[in-house]
Amino acid sequence: MNSQLTQLKSALRLFGVIAIFGSFSAFAGGPVGDHVNHLSDNLDKYTEEVNWLIKKVDGIVVRYEKSGAKEAKADAVVDHWEAVKFHAAIESNYVPVYAAIWQGLFGVKESIDNGKPMAAVRVEQHKLEQALWQALGAVKLAAQFQERGLLTKVALREGGPTNSVEALDQVKMRLDRVVAKFAEKLVKESVDIVHDTYLNLFEGVEGDLIAINADLVEDLEKDFNVTLPKAIQGKKSSVDDVRRVVDLMHGKIDIARALLTEKDKKKKDVF
Amino acid sequence: MQRRTFLHSMALFGALGVCPSLLANSVSGSANAISVEQLPELKGELTLYLGRGEGGLYEDVLNAIKKRNPSFKLNIRRGPTAALANAIVAEAKAGVRRADLFWAVDSGAIGLVSGAGLAQSLPKDLISQLKPEFQFSNWIPVTGRIRTLPYNTERLSADKIPDNIMELPESGLSIGWAPAYASFQSFVTAMRLIAGENATADWLKRMNDKATRYAGELGVVMAVERGEVDLGLANHYYTLRLKSGKPNARVNLAFTQNDAGCLVNASGIVALKEGDLAANFIRYLLTQEVQSYLASEAYEIPLVGNVAPPKGLPTLDTISPPKVDLTKLADLRPTLSLMRKAGVL
């Protein structure tokens, strides 16, 4: 019963994210492909790709065990991941797991490159496999929502928010992308997303918000301009460090969202 | 250091409370604003390109217009103002016109579109509703914003602030600015047009040695309030909004005189399609109701005859902004080049 409840909560949470994510499509890796708007038709293909990817990564790990880091050619994990369509399916639907996949890929690659013991490499491999299965589950759930017409079509370009609440939803999505790009080792791109999100989205909201809670705005200002860029650019920062900052920001943005939603109810009529 | 001949205190604003409201009797202008009740019903369909504005308040206006005109269909494409301006020009070059109207958050983008010969002439009776200095033949300024010097009231008194922007670097004051910010770049463009390239480059270099950099102008105002810097350069509404949420905030507004430091810039709308429907749609934006709404909710400056400015801001006729052709603020490239050469960007 508890497990079912947890699953349901996860599903609802996921749907919430997906519903928001549907309008966003600033993909770093080029055109996304229309298959993301036909998830159900492609589930077999995605499953096949996940199995293929797991097998490929296992091959790398086995080579490492037998012949060492050079023969393992661990760089290939990234090429394999970028080669699959499933990449876009999860990137367009659930960025938090997308980031975890990148974290897993680099976990395997770096543990091999650094000559870590086999047990440690297997731990990283296991984390990657978990992230991939979790991602496949998320895409399958998204497919169900899409079939019921509950999922917004993945847009060819980002739609502009029509109010502060929508803008904050986009801010949260973009912060997830910051983690994802950091996990891809794209530090500059990650910082660029932070700056762009601040200037083009949050900055348009904070004028509204400051009239309600100036301290919250001040806190988020610091997060956008100091704390998060510093976490991304820190020499010893891990994906978990960056994710921790983003999670805290999400919490503050949720408070901001609630305040602005409440304010909207009291807004006077134009005419 | 020159003594200021004009300084505005916001003490009254602080004393009167949190909610913005309007001063009823303090504006100059041309004609009285028209009520929405006097306007014809809109019938037909238009496509509006809408630059991202103030937290959805422009959307509220558009929704209200749609609700009032059930036989009118408004298609909206949203995006950053500069990107939409470029799209309009590119579409025209390709021989298509998707937008009938373009509502931009800054006049520079309007200049880009009108400079490409795409802006239609508008009826004289519509133009004449605006204050004389905001009357143009082929675009309508909707609301204004003014460049200000927000200063920390505990660290500084108003008479210590120069009323000439060019003297700011040598004022001995610590200064906050946000050079990457679009409004700041429009201000530098205005300085370039008024004072020339050399003087602007020199000012940027002198300022760059003294100023502390912030990402956005609300950040500048908040830094002033915290006392990190003595004063900053920012559009007026950030300070008014901060004072609204925090009435005892340690910040007031000062203005320079007759230079780019007190430039009044405007959001504006341009019709890309001839005919009554587009012009009549624009009439709704100049109504008493819409102008008052944007003043009270977004702290923007009404530009129509008798509509009062947001509380806490002096009336335009008591400030001496420079005379600048706002559409020329579109010429950003030389500005960015100067800023890069000065090491500001």
| From A151-155, A179-183, A243-247, B312-316, the region with the lowest mean pLDDT | A151-155
Q: What's the confidence (pLDDT) of residue A159?
A: 60
Give the pLDDT confidence score for residue A33 in this predicted structure: 66
Compute, in degrees rounded to 10, the torsion defined by CA atoms A221, A168, B87, B114: -60
Task: Tell me which residue range forms the domain holding A247.
Answer: 164-265
Contacts of A188 (CB under 8 A, 6+ apart): none
User: Do A62 and A100 fall into the same domain?
Assistant: yes
Whether B297 contacts chain A with CB within 8 A: yes
B218 touches chain A (CB under 8 A): yes
Of the listed ranges A29-33, A217-221, B127-131, the one predicted with least confidence: A29-33
Nearest CA in chain B to A260: B55
Chain B segment 134-153 residues within 8 A of A by beta carbon are: none
Same domain, residue pair A60 and A176: no
Q: State which CATH number among 1.10.510.10, 3.30.360.10, 3.40.190.10, 3.60.70.12 fits the domain covering B36-144+265-310.
A: 3.40.190.10
Binding-site residues on chain A for chain B (CB distance < 8 A): 159-164, 166-167, 195, 198-200, 203-208, 210-214, 217-218, 221, 224-225, 267-271
Asked if residue A4 is part of any domain, the answer here is: no
Q: How far is A90 from chain B (nearest CA, A)?
A: 26
Q: Output the pLDDT for position B325.
A: 87
Q: Residue A100: inside a domain, yes or no?
A: yes
Question: How many domains are contained in chain A?
Answer: 2
Whether pLDDT at B324 is above 50? yes
Position with higher pLDDT, B292 vs B26 = B292
Question: Domain spanning B11-22+146-263+334-341: which CATH class is it, in words?
Answer: alpha beta
Report yes or no on A49 lying in a domain.
Answer: yes
Are residues A204 and B214, on separate chains, in Cβ contact within 8 Å?
no
**Chains A & B: contacts with CB separation below 8 Å:** 96
Mean pLDDT confidence for B60-66: 95
Per-residue confidence (pLDDT) for residue A27, from 0 to 100: 41
Q: What local confidence, expressed as pLDDT, does residue A38 receive? A: 80
Residue B25 confidence (pLDDT) above 50: no
Which residues of chain A have a CB within 8 Å of the CB of B17?
none
Average pLDDT of span A85-103: 84
| Residue A113 shares a structural domain with residue A193 | no
By the CB < 8 Å criterion, does B283 face chain A?
A: no
Q: How far apart are CA A244 and CA A228, in angstroms?
A: 10
Nearest to A163 among B36, B55, B293 (CB): B55
Contacts of A269 in chain B (CB under 8 A): 64
Q: ipTM of the assembly?
A: 0.75
Look at residue A7 and tell me whether its pLDDT is greater than 70: no
Contact indicator for B123, B271 with CB cutoff of 8 Å: no
- Residue B278 vs residue A4, higher pLDDT: B278
Give B145-186 pLDDT, tens digit per residue: 999 999 999 999 989 999 999 999 999 999 999 998 888 988
| Three-state DSSP state, A113 | helix
Q: Residue A123, class by beta-carbon neighbours within 10 Å (0-12 exposed, 13-18 middle, 19+ buried)?
A: middle
- Give CA separation, B25 vs A30, B28, B60, B143, B308, in Å: 57, 9, 26, 19, 7
Q: With contacts defined as CB-CB under 8 Å, which chain B residues touch A256?
A: none
Residue B279 pLDDT: 96
CB contact under 8 A, A207 and B238: yes
User: In this predicted structure, what is the pLDDT of residue B18?
Assistant: 27
Which of A159, A163, A208 is the closest to B59 by Cβ?
A163
Collapsing DSSP to helix, strand or coil, A1 comes out as: coil
Residues A132 and A185 in one domain: no
CA atoms within 13 A on the CB side of B103: 25
- CA separation for the pair A165, A174 (Å, rounded): 14
d(CA B117, CA B89) in angstroms, rounded, equals 9
Q: What is the pLDDT of residue A35?
A: 76
Are A175 and A223 members of one domain?
Answer: yes
Question: What is the distance between the alpha carbons of residues B79 and B138, in angstroms, rounded to a whole number?
Answer: 22
Name the least confident of A93-102, B15-24, B156-165, B235-244: B15-24
Q: Does the residue A20 lie in any domain?
A: yes
Residues A15-25: pLDDT tens digits?
443 333 333 33
